[in-house]
Chain A
Amino acid sequence: MLKTPLYNTHISLNAKIAPFGGWLMPIQYQGILAEHAHTRKRVSVFDICHMGEFMLEADPSLSGFDRIVTQNIISMPEGSCRYGFMLNEQAGILDDLVVYRINKTSWMLVVNAATTPGDYAHLKKNLTGKYNLKDISDKTGKLDVQGPESLDVLKSIFGDGLSKLNYYNSCEFTFQNQRCMVSRTGYTGELGYEIYISTDYVVKLWEVLLKDSRVKPAGLGSRDTLRLEMGYPLYGQDLDINHTPLAAGLVKFVDLSKDFIGKDALLKEQASGPKERLICFQADSRRAPRHGFAIFANNQRVGTVTSGSFSPSLSVGIGIGYVCGNYDVGSRLIVKDAGTEIPVVVIKRPFISKTSLLGTATIF
């Protein structure tokens, strides 16, 4: 199992540690509910060093890079970021990722931890001509600072210039004379920033952040409940090679006006209609649907839960899952496991309507 540079810090903070994507990661410190609430009200810092980062020097059209990602790479302004997918020829999702355009020919790709080796191989296989691809995951630390007061906290570290950073944009800043990249992005639904810094400095940055009384550490447990309340998908659960962006309801992150790997299969699926669709549902009770539970409509099994949890903000169970057939908002379904039956109602994502991000900007 791999460990991030902050592993010993997490141990000293009495974090509960568990395996995640091949890494030993902190799941919680004080408790998932407290960390969730703190992120929604103030600021949390998450150790996300396990995620993969690639640097790519390439002309996007001449190198074939634009064909590898579903978003239009060529049209990205310098300093912008875009969420999108890498697909196989069958339009199955190999990974979801965020592409950063650093300058005209430099890019950073941020990918999931478990998929990093496969993503790198896919890029190597499909890039052509003149390009330079480097896996910088081992040298790159990543901290996510999320919450309504995140800008105020980070301005004290990076300066007032951070206020000018727009949603889904990135900029270089310095921390203790060390260059780092800060993007106004995140996966919690709150105003937030993701900081990429050398692994030599990531522990120091963590310590400086935690000296601020507004900031508390949060683990992957609350990160999961926060992202689920926003209806954001998690690769390996809600997204995988057997499902397409169309089935996942995420075709807005696919530019159908350009060419990309998997486009023909996706157009075919669009014409016939996807066999399965990802839906969001909310339970009548505090009982939580769980990954793998069956979804029933009129006593017939119609699908499977891919993510489910107790929602700390709503105090009811919430979930996401694939179903065959059309179940519109308001449809009543039953989520089942041995001995457990949870009545749920289909709702539109996100599950919650008021956060420090919603109302200002949202990609989903």
Chain B
Amino acid sequence: MNIPKDLFYTKDHEWARIEGKTAYVGITDYAQHSLGDITFVELPKIGEELKQSGYCATVESVKAASEVYAPLSGKVLSVNTQLAAHPELINQSAYEKGYFFSLQISNEAEKANLMDASAYERYVEGLAK
């Protein structure tokens, strides 16, 4: 299971890479593996205001559809347009080419609600038991 040390995580298996006041967002390697082959993604619109833990995207695999929740509140700055034609990038590169969108963080204090890599690793291990 790939859990990069420099990212932050949610219980719903989203990750956030925080670079200054910008957060890049996607779903974790655990999530993409659980979903299987990803076939469709619906992303938020640029400029949309997201709330922490609020719905922000839908990801579909061959067998099911799942909702994705924003790890932090903020305004959507950019979306990964590659995913429309190549949603499989999420399976191939969950933390890099398969990122979903970036947002301008509106409340840095919310970072305290996220898990670091070691906490997320323990959380995922707990789910397996």
Contact = CB atoms under 8 A, between A and B. Distances in A.
A286 B87 contact: yes
Contact of A16 (B36, B64, B91): B36
Contacts of A287: 40, 42, 60
A288 B36 contact: no
Q: Classify the interface of chain A: helix, strand, loop or mixed.
A: mixed
Interface in A1-56: 16, 27-28, 31-34
Size category, A interface: 10 to 19
Interface in A113-137: none
14 contacts: A16-B36, A28-B36, A32-B37, A33-B88, A221-B36, A221-B63, A286-B40, A286-B60, A287-B60, A288-B62, A309-B62, A310-B39, A312-B62, A317-B40
Contacts, number: 44
A225 interface: yes
B46 interface: no
A334 B69 CA distance: 26
B60 A33 contact: no
B75 to A, nearest CB: 22
B111 to A, nearest CB: 29
B119 interface: no
Nearest to A286: B40
B124 interface: no
A309 B64 CA distance: 9
Given A286-B87, A288-B39, A288-B40, A32 B60 contact: no
Interface string A310-333: 101000010000000000000000
B62 A221 contact: yes
A344 to B, nearest CB: 14
B36 A225 contact: no
Given A32-B37, A340-B58, 10 more contacts: A33-B37, A33-B88, A34-B37, A221-B62, A221-B63, A287-B40, A288-B40, A288-B62, A290-B64, A310-B62
A340 B55 CA distance: 14
Interface in B69-96: 87-88, 91
Contacts of A288: 39-40, 60, 62, 65
Interface in B93-114: none
Interface string B26-52: 000000000011011010000000000
Contacts of A286: 39-40, 60, 87
